[in-house]
Structure formats: C-alpha cells, structure tokens
C-alpha cells in the first residue's frame, strides 16, 4: 500500500543544476570506478538484492530513502512544494546514521546542492532511482509506464543527471519506481550493469502523517540484514524525520548496527565467496555506457 503511495509521489520539471548553484561547475574528473560493489549479473539479468545475511555476528539494518520526483512535478516544485527533506538529512547526520539515498535524476536536477552534499558526506551513499520515476512494468501503483525501449536509458540518464548535479560517486545500485519489475526490465537494467535493490521492510511513510505508525511498522518488520524503504520527500512523506528520530535509538538498543546498502551487499558477497570457495563467480562494477 505504501509502495503504492510512494509510486504516486512523483514528479518535477526541474531547473538545470547551474540554476541552483549560480556558479560555474569545475570540470568533472574522468569517470572513476564505483566505490560500492554490485552483485554479479545472473543470466544477463540485473541481480535483485532484498536483504543482507540474516546470520551476521553483529546484526545490521540499512535504512534507505527514496528521493522521488517525476517530470510533471516541476510546476509544483516551482510553486513551493517541497520534494526534498533537509530536516531528515540533518537528523541522520545528528544521529550518525549511515544511509543510502535512491535519487531520481529529476530530484538531483532540482536539488543539486543537496545531492552533492549527500554524495560528499561519507555517512551517505547515492543510488539510482531512475530518471523520471515512471514504471518499468504496467499496472504499477498508477505510475505512468515507460515504453520498454526506454528502460535502460532511464538508468543511464539518471546517472548522467547525478553527474551533472556534481555527484561523483554514485553506487551501482538501482531501485525500480514502485519496486515494479519483471524479467524484461531486469534484462534492460542489467545492460546498464546495476544491481537491483528492493527491500524486505516497508516503512509506511508515504502519505502518512502519523510517525508512530511508521515507527511501529519498521520495528515490527526488521530482522538482521533488513533493508528498510522510506522516503526523502517532504511533500509525500511528512513524518519520516520524526519517525527516524524514534526508530534509530530503538534499533540501537536492540543491538542493530545501522549501515549503508553497500555494506550489506559486501557481506552478501563474502557469504557467497565463502560458499563458492576460490572458484567463486567473478564480480564487476557497473557498466555505465
Ligand atoms: Zn520512488
């Protein structure tokens, strides 16, 4: 249900990055290999990651935040509607909570300064949530559906928008809008070299003003290795900051470490290596052509 709500969050025709910065950007350095590892492709399909190992010595949970925005939300943003959530980011910093932020390209274009600041902060990592937040399958929570031949481009165009905004170290992690995907979509985004990141805990913050219910939903759902989906979009998820301020101390009291998705993926890779032995599958970073 909340995925549904999240899906409805969409959109925005945003100004170019330079409008917000008001100054010339330095030349971008040559593309560097991504700092976070992806999982190996499976038969040409993007691998789907839903949670980390359940049996880690020190249980970890990854809080993830989708920064949704769609092309048709530009006029609303221009009218003052907030699709960002600086208070949430401040709370994560204050509480020292590592987090992974899945940004749409439109969000990065609209809020380039925030996108850069999140990227520069070692507490956080930036991942890809498509360019326009359109659905990759039909019947996805009311989201408009992409033509199939634009699926891969949605991933590469989002990376380009992130780079334009000044994000230098986007991870090879991709989250489908609304989480909706099928084999064809996994093949398309697999060609862009990304690992698909879903979740096993829905935070329930989309269109929910009741922080208490979000807190309960997260705390009831988490297990070792969980990936929790929440949102970084005030307009559509107004109580996320309040909920995070209550969830984090309780998770820590229960013995959980809060980590980024990349740490859970690395743990998964180590587990796979241990099972495969020295001849385990090779793994590569993303191919972002
Ligand atoms: Zn989304």
Dihedral angle, C-alpha 159, 163, 165, 169, nearest 10 °: 90
Angular region, 285: left φ>0, alpha ψ -120 to 50, beta rest: beta
CA angle at residue 65 from 220 to 79, to 5 degrees?
125
Contact 101, 125 (CB under 8 A): yes
Residue 198 CA to ligand 1 center (angstroms) comes to 11
Residue 149 CA to ligand 1 center (angstroms) comes to 20
| Predicted confidence (pLDDT) at residue 117 exceeds the cutoff of 70 | yes
Place of tokens 């969830």: 247
The pLDDT value recorded for residue 35 is 65
* 2-10+39-273 CATH pick, 3.40.50.970, 2.60.40.420, 3.60.15.10, 3.20.20.370: 3.20.20.370
Give φ, ψ of 74 to 5 degrees.
Answer: -55, -50
- Rounded to an integer, the average pLDDT of 227-234 is 97
Dist. CA 164–CA 77, nearest whole Å? 20
Task: Flag the least confident range among 58-72, 94-108, 248-262, 273-287.
Answer: 273-287
Dist. CA 171–CA 102, nearest whole Å? 10
Residue 20 burial (10 A CB sphere; 0-12, 13-18, 19+): middle
- Rounded to an integer, the average pLDDT of 10-34 is 40
Domain ranges of the chain: 2-10+39-273
- Rounded to an integer, the average pLDDT of 166-181 is 97
Neighbours of 80 (CB within 10 A): 6
What average pLDDT does the structure give for the chain? 87
- Rounded to an integer, the average pLDDT of 154-175 is 97
Residue 104 CA to ligand 1 center (angstroms) comes to 8
Contact 107, 115 (CB under 8 A): yes
| Predicted confidence (pLDDT) at residue 26 exceeds the cutoff of 70 | no
Residue 8 CA to ligand 1 center (angstroms) comes to 8
| Predicted confidence (pLDDT) at residue 127 exceeds the cutoff of 70 | yes
* Angle between helix 183-190 and 151-165 (nearest 10): 40
The pLDDT value recorded for residue 288 is 45
Residue 201 CA to ligand 1 center (angstroms) comes to 15
- Rounded to an integer, the average pLDDT of 18-34 is 43
Residue 210 burial (10 A CB sphere; 0-12, 13-18, 19+): middle
- Rounded to an integer, the average pLDDT of 17-26 is 42
The pLDDT value recorded for residue 12 is 31
Dist. CA 17–CA 236, nearest whole Å? 23
Dist. CA 233–CA 196, nearest whole Å? 21
The pLDDT value recorded for residue 278 is 62
| Predicted confidence (pLDDT) at residue 189 exceeds the cutoff of 90 | yes
Residue 129 CA to ligand 1 center (angstroms) comes to 7
The pLDDT value recorded for residue 13 is 30
Residue 133 CA to ligand 1 center (angstroms) comes to 6
């Amino acid at each position: 249900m909340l995925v549904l709500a999240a899906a409805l969050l969409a959109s925005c025709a945003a100004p170019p990055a330079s409008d917000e910065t008001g100054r010339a950007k330095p030349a971008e350095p040559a593309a560097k290999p991504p700092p976070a590892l992806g999982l190996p492709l499976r038969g040409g399909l993007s691998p789907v990651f839903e949670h980390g190992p359940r049996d880690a010595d020190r249980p970890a949970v990854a809080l993830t935040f989708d920064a949704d925005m769609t092309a048709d939300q530009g006029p609303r943003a221009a009218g003052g509607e907030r699709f960002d959530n600086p208070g949430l980011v401040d709370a994560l910093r204050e509480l020292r909570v590592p987090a992974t932020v899945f940004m749409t390209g439109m969000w990065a274009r609209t809020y380039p300064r925030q996108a850069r600041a999140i990227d520069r902060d070692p507490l956080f990592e930036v991942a890809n949530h498509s360019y326009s937040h359109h659905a990759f399958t039909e019947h996805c929570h009311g989201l408009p559906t992409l033509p199939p031949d634009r699926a891969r481009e949605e991933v590469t165009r989002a990376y380009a928008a992130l780079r334009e905004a000044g994000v230098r170290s986007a991870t090879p992690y991709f989250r489908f809008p609304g989480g909706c995907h099928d084999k064809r979509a996994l093949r398309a985004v697999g060609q862009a070299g990304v690992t698909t990141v879903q979740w096993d805990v829905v935070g329930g913050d989309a269109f929910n003003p009741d922080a208490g219910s979000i807190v309960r939903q997260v705390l009831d759902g988490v297990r070792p290795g969980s990936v929790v989906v929440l949102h970084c979009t005030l307009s559509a998820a107004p109580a996320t900051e309040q909920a995070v301020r209550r969830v984090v101390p309780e998770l820590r009291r229960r013995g959980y470490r809060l980590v980024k998705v990349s740490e859970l993926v690395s743990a998964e890779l180590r587990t796979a290596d241990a099972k495969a032995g020295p001849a385990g599958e090779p793994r590569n970073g993303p191919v972002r052509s």
